[in-house]
Amino acid sequence: MSDSSMGTLYVVATPIGNLEDLSPRAARVLGEVALVAAEDTRHTARLLRHLGLSVPMLSLHEHNEAARVAQLDARLAAGESIALVSDAGTPLISDPGFVLVRELRARGRRIVPLPGPCALVTALSAAGLPTDRFLFSGFLPAKGSGRRGRLEALARREETLVFYESPHRIRDTLADLATCLGGRRLVLARELSKAFETFLDGTAAELLERMATDPDQARGEFVIMVAGAPPREDEEAAAVDADALLAAMLVEGVGVKQAAAVAARVLGGGKKAWYARAQALKDGD
């Protein structure tokens, strides 16, 4: 149980783009605390200047978070309150803070969350994809093999899938989504709450084509939302229909390569996978 004489750690959500999204409560708390623990003090300094505040800051990021615990705990024990902020959005959601919150909670310190902006919730609210169930997987692995492995592990999940992605990897990630998840509906939210906020809707392959013709669509920070897998019974029926389509084309004399290309265009997915499936049907026949 926390001691009322001790300070409080406030976990403060900050704007993901538009500074008007900062809540009055968050602005008040930032002006009252003794210290702001910030992912990047230079970034947070701009927010504090906007609010007309001059508050001491201390950096807290993934490389020094564990080492900061004892220092911040001592200040809370001395009765000082601290605000934890990330560069944008809600701390701990694909941002630093988990280690600090876990350790301070284990020590019985008072921790108060201040709700506010969060990119994944903001994106989902306007995407038009099911939100009754969704699975947030943060940033996908940077390397292609790891990224594809993660996507293949999630391929049968029926919830809406949500990822964050950076501009320098967005094209590679879309290519892997096309390979691993085929022609599922995908909504790409870019630059949320900023001047060039954009929602793109289509398959991964279609969005890659859009970026090829309009490179500006590959700029900014992204939230990727992908429709979940169909229920198993629907999936099994779709597999039967796909095999029937391939078989019909083969019977009519369409070559394996051409049949695979048609299936990929009509049903989504990679041509190589459809080629293997068509070849197996032909060999079986």
The residue assigned the tokens 């169909």 is 230
CATH code given to domain 120-226: 3.30.950.10
Q: Per residue in 126-136, pLDDT tens?
A: 999 999 999 99
Count CB atoms within 10 A of the CB of residue 75: 18
How do beta strands 35-38 and 57-59 pair? parallel
Q: Which CATH number is correct for 8-117, 3.40.50.720, 3.30.200.20, 1.10.3720.10, 3.40.1010.10? A: 3.40.1010.10
The dihedrals phi and psi of 191, each to the nearest 5 degrees, come to 55, 50
Q: For the chain, 285 residues long, give each residue's pLDDT as a single digit of tens.
A: 456 689 999 999 999 999 999 999 999 999 999 999 999 999 999 999 999 999 999 999 999 999 999 999 999 999 999 999 999 999 999 999 999 999 999 999 999 999 999 999 999 999 999 999 999 999 999 999 999 999 999 999 999 999 999 999 999 999 999 999 988 999 999 999 999 999 999 999 999 999 999 999 999 999 999 999 988 665 555 555 788 888 888 888 889 888 888 887 777 667 788 888 888 888 876
pLDDT given for residue 32 in this prediction: 98
- Which pair of tokens denotes residue 32? 């009252």
Task: State what percent of residues in the chain have pLDDT above 90.
Answer: 78
pLDDT of residue 163: 98
Torsion of CA 186, 192, 195, 199, to 10 degrees: 10
Q: How many angstroms separate the CA atoms of 275 and 254, rounded? A: 12
Determine the pLDDT at residue 236. Answer: 55
Sheet of strand 160-165: strand arrangement: 134-139, 160-165, 222-226, 186-190, 198-202
Contact between 129 and 187 (Cβ < 8 Å) = yes
Question: In the 3-class helix/strand/coil scheme, how is the chain assigned residue by residue?
Answer: CCCCCCCEEEEECECCCCHHHCCHHHHHHHHHCCEEEECCHHHHHHHHHHCCCCCCEEECCCCCHHHHHHHHHHHHHCCCCEEEECCCECCCCCCCCHHHHHHHHHCCCEEEEECCCCHHHHHHHHHCCCCCCEEEEEECCCCHHHHHHHHHHHCCCCCEEEEEECCCCHHHHHHHHHHHHCCCCEEEEECCCCCCCEEEEECHHHHHHHHHHCHHHHCCCEEEEECCCCCHHHHHHHHHHHHHHHHHHHHCCCCHHHHHHHHHHHHCCCHHHHHHHHHHHHHHC
Burial class (CB in 10 A: 0-12, 13-18, 19+), 212: exposed
Q: 232-251 and 271-284 are packed helices; what angle lies between their axes, rounded to 10 degrees?
A: 70
pLDDT in tens, 107-163: 999 999 999 999 999 999 999 999 999 999 999 999 999 999 999 999 999 999 999
Domain coordinates in residue numbering, the chain: 8-117, 120-226, 232-284
Retrieve residue 67's tokens. Answer: 């080492």
Instruction: State the pLDDT at residue 3.
Output: 62
Q: What is the pLDDT of residue 1?
A: 46
First to last CA, the chain: 71
Distance CA 157, CA 137 (A): 12
